[in-house]
Structure 1
Amino acid sequence: MTEAAAPLAPQASAPGQRGAVPVGTLAQITWASGSFATGALFNAMALFALFVMTSFLGISPALAGTIILVARLYDGIIDPLIGALSDRTRHRWGPRRIYLLVGALALGASFTLFFNLSALGLEGTAAAFAATALLLLYSTAYSIFTIPYLAMPPDIAPDYDARTRLMSFRVFFLLAGVTAGSAGAPLLVGAMGTPEAGYRVMGTVLGIAAAGLCLIVFFGAARLPGPERPGPPARLDARELLLSPFIDTARVFANAPFRLLTLVKLCQLAVLSTVLACTPYFFDLVLGFGPGEIGAYFGLFSVAGIVSVPAWRWVIARAGKRETYLVLLVLYGAGLASWFAWVPGEAAWLFHARAALIGAFSTGTLLCALAMLPDTMEYDRLQSGEGREGVMSGVFTFVENVAGALGPFIVGLLLEAGGLITARGPDVVQPQAVLDFVQWGVSIVPALFCLAALPLLYAYRLDAAMLEEMRETRDAAP
């Protein structure tokens, strides 16, 4: 048996209810700033984890990709549990804040330690075990922070359009984090004396900074409204608690809009993780560039994305979330596929044009997905009469982690098939098959994931009118 804390008095009406208390812009921005930390760590880990394991820890590419896959699939067990726990928690800090605190500290520590593994002189089996343990810890910490964090928007933003505004703040900080993780991190690595020292410094700086930013969200969340729902029994049966996340997961997957959006998100994040895992090899082996050029590319990518956010908000308001999302997925896939046409001596302006356009299209798809997620949560609440936002954000985070593992796993298999030589040195020449597979990994493979998402998104039908009709039906009920 486990004991729950005393129920917390509700702070505001639930979304969609009359009398919902609006949340000020500053409070929304403070909440959204947490995405800077998660975006920075997610992108830096996705960009460099496979590369560091194969280049500095002596781990084969197939094994390194499998380690990442195992660590992320492990979230399939813990994510629903964390989501269910956050839904059931009744604490004087609110149902989510305690998880934000624990997650913030563990996230920074695990990220820092992973990128400092090479300092221990581990190689082979010992290095593989150590990397696996730290990636499991990192995945746990990421889920502990992110799942309760993602469950908060339905209570912060009271209606359909307000969520687009809230998520535009989140996308801004997320893109700033992407800039830090995919542009700033490579620049920091390149600024050090050796690449190995650069990765250690990068891991330490980014890990500590991310933990600090997550703590700001923890303190700021004290002023945010929480869900209004009856508290659970004071004592919970441990067996019921362990089984309920998986029962709840099956129930929320009966929510068709949520199920479809989750599968679309799986494809979209698989695009990102494949590109990020392949990028260090593509820039190093195919383009002949160093970490600094990776930073410059993703810097332009991120700036274009940030600048495009107001334009995408305008388009979404007029064309609709789903319709905008469909068009952007096509453009995103086409932009990525264009890397397959790259040839030595290509004009520099094409390189920069790809960075800017792909960055803008990627940002648009991200904003659409994030703006639609709280809608599916409200749909579930209106349909079921229950608050299962934690479970839903747990499923969404699990999918994010699985997609984040698919990229490195696929790239690892491609590199293994091509015969990647893991030794580092100026005289190492990689087989032509490795170069060919790397070019496929940054172009055709992610474009196929974009293509796979289109029929799923086309089947999605939830919109503002449907939610309003459901609210009216609920309010008219005796």
Structure 2
Amino acid sequence: MHPDPPVSASTSPIPQKLSFSTKLAYGAGDLGPAITANILAFFLLIFFTNVAGLSPGIAGSILMISKIWDAMNDPIIGILSDRTRSRWGRRYPWMIFGAIPFGIFFFLQWVVPPFDQQGLFWYYVVIAIIFNSFYTIVNLPYTALTPELTQDYNERTSLNSFRFAFSIGGSIFSLVLALVIFSVIKNNPQAQYLVLGGVCAVLSILPLYWCVGGTWKQTMTGQHFLDVEARSEESLPFAAQLRIAFSNRPFLYVIGIYLCSWLAVQATAAIIPYFVVDWMRLPESNFTLVALAVQGTALVMLFFWSAVSKRAGKKAVYFMGMSLWIMAQAGLFFLQPGQVVLMYVLAVMAGVGVSTAYLVPWSMLPDVIELDELQTGQRREGIFYAFMVLLQKVGLALGLFVIGLALQWAGFLETTPGQSPPIQPDSALLAIRVAIGPIPTLVLIAGLILTYFYPITREVHAEILLKLQERRSSTFAADPDISQK
């Protein structure tokens, strides 16, 4: 699933301006997925070990299986969504009928049934597979609404800015909500997570129906746009798509940069609860505050880096942000219990860099697509975006699995349900510190090296755009009626 190539106002059949309420409703569609994804990233691993009583190896295996399935089901749902024909269009039936199961199976991930380790493993694997299926069922058709709402290039940019605001806002809101629930419900971790899961489930379902109700009329009015995706790109065999993607050298750099950035983000999110509770010896609520410090700073810095990027370029912004992030991540290894203020300073420094992980890799991808268009004469966004997401999910799955396995090898002691968390041995504490410090630091340095060698500079990109413009001008000059085809 992918948006079609940008269509200029001169070639768009009916340039449209969307109302503020339509854009607001569209943005709300990403609120539920953002809330659930953020809660799972920060809390699920520690829930498995400290509440459900699973060993870190089993917990990591569950996360790996769920992420790999999440990557595999994207093309399946994408094809089915494309082929759907109904009076509600192609996308809305999936969102309408998938929203409630999406919320229900999110909630069921926070239930602890009275099973042994093997029984719990299979329970959480099955629930995770079903939840991730419904996550894709509601989220993928939602993202495909953009070209069906409007063909206007600037309106699409505006739509995605609303979506991005709801996405980051939902992530921050979910952490605040967790902080409130954990402070109200004390000394009962299972009840804390049940309430958090239930409230987030309801809050994730409702905005999806707001999105459907607020955008349906606009989409139905624009039924003549429904063939956009079919016109934009031929259906190619998977092997052919693979050859296209991996023959583009700058794309390989972008994938590497993106994986390094987000592997560091996700690994830190998974391990930070153990670091705060077991190493820093602070109450669990503190790791929520640390996460808020990181994400709040990242949200604010997005606007700053966006402005700086216009002057200094993407590579320069990435180097500036990563430099602070690397210092913060490395500093966490040397942090000692009692240095709470320094911990929050490092969290803010990390947030400055995390914002560039949001901003830079995805802004590099259109440059890669334009280079491919210059070389081949075709625009193939779908192939590049699909492999970007696929490799991201597989990479994160393997990373989370390795973290869980490393904790288990280091002798991490899981919590027996109903009892207080045990005192961790020195080997487990060292593993936690290595997982939050040196490992993400080395990954981020690898990302910096890839960025240094990334070949599309501002000057190269300007030359690509100039050549594309010359080609398009000559094409229109040779065939004045092409815009009508």
Contact 1:84 1:245 in 2 (8 A): no
Alpha-carbon distance change, 413 to 81 in structure 1, aligned in 2, over 3 angstroms: same
Alpha-carbon distance change, 435 to 466 in structure 1, aligned in 2, over 3 angstroms: same
- 16-25 vs 189-198, greater mean Cα deviation: 16-25
For 1:81 and 1:309, the matched residues in 2 are separated by 33
The letter of the residue matching 2:332 is W
2:189 to 195, 198, 209: 195
Cα displacement string for residues 410-441 of structure 1 (whole angstroms, at most 9, x for unaligned residues) = 22122112111113434722101111111111
Report the equivalent of 2:36: 41
Report the equivalent of 2:70: 75
Report the equivalent of 1:428: 422
The letter of the residue matching 2:353 is F
What is the aligned-residue RMSD (CA, Å)? 3.5
1:453 to 447, 458, 462: 447
For 1:18 and 1:97, the matched residues in 2 are separated by 30
Alpha-carbon distance change, 88 to 405 in structure 1, aligned in 2, over 3 angstroms: same
The letter of the residue matching 1:414 is A
1:260 aligns to 2:253 (yes or no): yes
1:107 aligns to 2:105 (yes or no): no
For 1:311 and 1:115, the matched residues in 2 are separated by 37
1:135 aligns to 2:133 (yes or no): no
Alpha-carbon distance change, 103 to 163 in structure 1, aligned in 2, over 3 angstroms: same
Q: Which runs of 5+ in 1 are unaligned?
A: 1-10, 233-239
For 2:396 and 2:144, the matched residues in 1 are separated by 20
For 2:380 and 2:98, the matched residues in 1 are separated by 20
The letter of the residue matching 1:63 is I
| Post-superposition offset of 1:349 | 3.1
For 2:137 and 2:23, the matched residues in 1 are separated by 21
Report the equivalent of 2:342: 350
| Post-superposition offset of 1:322 | 3.7
2:351 to 341, 345, 359: 359
The letter of the residue matching 1:473 is R
- 280-289 vs 134-143, greater mean Cα deviation: 134-143
| Post-superposition offset of 1:389 | 4.5
1:410 aligns to 2:405 (yes or no): no
2:392 to 379, 383, 400: 400
Report the equivalent of 2:26: 31
Contact 1:328 1:361 in 2 (8 A): yes
Contact 1:64 1:412 in 2 (8 A): yes
Report the equivalent of 2:205: 211
For 2:304 and 2:126, the matched residues in 1 are separated by 43
The letter of the residue matching 2:34 is G
2:46 to 41, 44, 51: 51
Cα displacement string for residues 267-311 of structure 1 (whole angstroms, at most 9, x for unaligned residues) = 221111101110111111111222321222222323222222321
The letter of the residue matching 2:168 is L
Contact 1:336 1:442 in 2 (8 A): yes
Alpha-carbon distance change, 460 to 31 in structure 1, aligned in 2, over 3 angstroms: farther
Contact 1:183 1:299 in 2 (8 A): yes
1:287 aligns to 2:294 (yes or no): no
The letter of the residue matching 1:79 is D
| Post-superposition offset of 1:68 | 1.1
TM-score (norm 1): 0.82
Matches within 5 A, 1:273-422: 273-346=266-339, 348-374=340-366, 376=368, 389-422=381-414
| Post-superposition offset of 1:158 | 5.5
Contact 2:258 2:357 in 1 (8 A): no
The letter of the residue matching 1:197 is A
Report the equivalent of 2:482: none
- 91-100 vs 67-76, greater mean Cα deviation: 91-100
Rg comparison, structure with higher value:
2
How many residues were matched structurally? 456
Contact 2:92 2:212 in 1 (8 A): yes
Contact 1:112 1:207 in 2 (8 A): yes
Contact 1:414 1:438 in 2 (8 A): no
| Post-superposition offset of 1:15 | 3.1
Cα displacement string for residues 60-94 of structure 1 (whole angstroms, at most 9, x for unaligned residues) = 21121012112212234322333444556566655
Matches within 5 A, 1:89-108: 93=88, 95-108=90-103
Cα displacement string for residues 23-70 of structure 1 (whole angstroms, at most 9, x for unaligned residues) = 547344443343432222112112222222222333221121012112
Report the equivalent of 2:7: 15
Contact 2:17 2:155 in 1 (8 A): no
Cα displacement string for residues 302-353 of structure 1 (whole angstroms, at most 9, x for unaligned residues) = 322222232122112222234323432333222222211201232x432222
The letter of the residue matching 1:451 is I
Alpha-carbon distance change, 453 to 429 in structure 1, aligned in 2, over 3 angstroms: same
For 2:446 and 2:190, the matched residues in 1 are separated by 38
For 1:97 and 1:177, the matched residues in 2 are separated by 22
Alpha-carbon distance change, 219 to 313 in structure 1, aligned in 2, over 3 angstroms: farther
Contact 1:14 1:228 in 2 (8 A): no
Report the equivalent of 2:119: 126
For 1:91 and 1:389, the matched residues in 2 are separated by 26
The letter of the residue matching 1:419 is G
SS at match of 1:59: coil
Report the equivalent of 1:8: none
Q: Which runs of 5+ in 2 are unaligned?
A: 479-485
| Post-superposition offset of 1:257 | 4.3
The letter of the residue matching 2:426 is Q
Percentage identity across paired residues of the two chains: 26
Report the equivalent of 2:166: 173
For 2:299 and 2:322, the matched residues in 1 are separated by 18
1:466 to 456, 464, 470: 464
